[in-house]
C-alpha cells in the first residue's frame, strides 16, 4: 500500500514522483526500439491477408469499444449528476466539514494512485502506445494532486487533519488505491483503461455541474478550491487515449463485455466518495 502523503516535505515528495516517472519512461524506452521491427513484421503479414476485410473488422471493433464505454458511462450517470454532495452544493447547503472531507479524500487518494498507475505503465512497456498513454495519465494525476493539495490548504484544512479524523473518511481513498492497485497488477489493459475512462468521465460530468455551484457557494470559497473542480469542466483529452488502449486490447482478443463488467466495479468507489463527503458531521 502506498504510504500516506507527507505534507511537511512537499518538495522531496515531488522530486521522488518525478524520479519514478523517469525510471518508468526509461524502461519503456528500452522497448521502443522493437517497434519498427514489429511494424515491419505486421506489414509483411498484412500482405498475405485480405486487407479490406481486416480494416473493416478493425474499424468495427473500435466502434464497439467506444459505444460500450459510452453506454457504461450513461448507465451510471446518476452517480455523477445526482449524488448527495452535488445536490447539497446546488442547494447552497454544503458545510465546512463536507468540503474539508472531499478535499481530504481527493488529496490523499490522488497521492496514492501515482504508484499503481505508474506500475501499470511499466507493465505494458512492450506496448509503446499503451505505456505512453498511461504515463500521461500519471502526469495528469500528479498535477491534479498538487491542485487538490493547494485547494485543501487554501480552505484551511490543516495538516493535522490528514490522514483523517474519521475511520470511514480515512478508509475511502485507501480502499480505492487498493482497488486500482489490484486493477494495475491483475487485470488486462482493456479493463484498466475502461475503468479509468469511467472514473474520469463521471468526474467530468460532476465537475460541469459542481463548479458553478461552488462559484456561488454562500460566503464564497478560495479560488484554488473552485479551480480544482473547474479543471474538469472541459472533457479531458486523455479519455480518447484510454479508449485507444481498450480498442487495441480488444482487437488483440480481450473480451469486451468482461472488460466492461470489471470496469463497472468503479461505481461503488465513486458513489462511496460522494456519500461520505456529503455526510453531516
Rounded Cα distance between 142 and 100, Å, is 20
Task: For the chain, count helices (H), then strands (E).
Answer: 12, 0
| pLDDT for the residue 278 | 95
Query: Taking a C-beta distance cutoff of 8 angstroms, is the pair 121, 189 a contact?
Result: no
Q: What is the tens place of the pLDDT at every residue in 189-241?
A: 999 999 999 999 999 999 999 999 999 999 999 999 999 999 999 999 999 99
- Confidence band, pLDDT 50/70/90 cuts, at residue 55: very low
- Confidence band, pLDDT 50/70/90 cuts, at residue 1: very low
Residue 2 domain flag: no
All three cell numbers of 151, joined, read 485547494
Domain limits for position 226: 10-278
Q: What is the tens place of the pLDDT at every residue in 58-74?
A: 555 788 999 999 999 99
Q: Which of 148, 71, 163 is nearest to 110 (CA)?
A: 148
- Choice between 159 and 172, residue whose per-residue pLDDT is larger: 172
Angle at 90 between CA 86 and CA 92, to 5 degrees: 115
Report CA dihedral (255, 185, 237, 140) to the nearest 10 degrees. 170
Distances (CA, A) of 109 to 125, 193, 217, 243: 25, 18, 25, 23
Residue 254 domain flag: yes
pLDDT at 38 over 70: no
Q: What is the DSSP-derived secondary structure letter of residue 163?
A: S
Query: Taking a C-beta distance cutoff of 8 angstroms, is the pair 61, 244 a contact?
Result: no
Residue 220 domain flag: yes
Residue 1 domain flag: no
- Confidence band, pLDDT 50/70/90 cuts, at residue 252: very high
Residue 5 domain flag: no
57, containing H or E segment: helix 51-75
CATH number for position 106: 1.20.910.10
Residue 199 domain flag: yes
Residue 266 domain flag: yes
Query: Taking a C-beta distance cutoff of 8 angstroms, is the pair 210, 89 a contact?
Result: yes
Q: What is the DSSP-derived secondary structure letter of residue 265?
A: T
Residue 218 domain flag: yes
Q: What is the tens place of the pLDDT at every residue in 13-22?
A: 444 445 656 6
- Choice between 244 and 32, residue whose per-residue pLDDT is larger: 244
165, containing H or E segment: none
All three cell numbers of 54, joined, read 481486416
Rounded Cα distance between 118 and 131, Å, is 9
Query: Which DSSP string do the residues of 139-154 spell out, in sequence order?
Result: HHHHHHHHHHHHHHHH
Residues 6+ apart with CB under 8 A from 137: 117, 121, 196, 238, 241, 242
Domain count within the chain: 1
Amino acid at each position: 500500500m502506498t504510504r500516506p502523503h507527507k505534507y511537511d516535505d512537499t518538495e522531496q515528495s515531488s522530486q521522488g514522483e518525478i524520479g519514478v516517472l523517469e525510471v518508468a519512461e526509461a524502461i519503456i524506452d528500452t522497448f521502443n526500439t522493437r517497434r519498427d521491427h514489429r511494424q515491419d513484421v505486421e506489414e509483411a503479414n498484412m500482405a498475405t491477408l485480405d486487407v479490406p476485410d481486416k480494416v473493416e473488422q478493425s474499424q468495427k471493433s473500435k466502434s464497439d469499444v467506444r459505444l460500450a464505454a459510452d453506454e457504461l458511462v450513461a448507465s451510471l450517470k446518476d452517480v455523477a449528476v445526482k449524488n448527495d454532495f452535488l445536490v447539497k452544493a446546488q442547494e447552497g447547503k454544503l458545510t465546512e466539514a463536507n468540503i474539508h472531507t472531499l478535499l481530504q479524500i481527493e488529496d490523499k487518494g490522488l497521492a496514492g494512485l501515482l504508484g499503481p498507475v505508474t506500475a501499470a505503465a511499466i507493465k505494458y512497456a512492450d506496448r509503446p502506445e499503451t505505456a505512453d498513454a498511461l504515463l500521461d495519465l500519471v502526469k495528469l494525476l500528479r498535477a491534479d494532486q498538487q491542485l487538490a493539495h493547494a485547494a485543501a490548504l487554501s480552505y484551511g484544512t490543516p495538516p493535522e487533519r490528514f490522514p483523517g479524523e474519521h475511520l470511514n473518511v480515512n478508509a475511502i481513498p485507501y480502499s480505492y488505491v487498493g482497488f486500482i492497485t489490484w486493477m494495475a497488477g491483475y487485470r488486462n489493459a482493456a479493463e484498466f483503461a475502461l475503468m479509468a475512462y469511467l472514473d474520469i468521465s463521471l468526474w467530468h460530468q460532476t465537475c460541469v455541474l459542481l463548479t458553478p455551484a461552488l462559484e456561488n457557494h454562500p460566503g464564497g470559497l478560495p479560488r484554488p478550491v473552485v479551480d480544482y473542480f473547474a479543471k474538469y469542466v472541459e472533457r479531458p483529452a486523455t479519455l480518447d487515449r484510454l479508449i485507444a488502449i481498450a480498442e487495441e486490447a480488444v482487437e488483440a482478443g480481450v473480451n469486451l463485455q468482461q472488460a466492461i463488467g470489471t470496469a463497472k466495479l468503479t461505481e461503488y468507489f465513486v458513489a462511496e466518495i460522494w456519500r461520505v463527503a456529503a455526510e453531516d458531521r
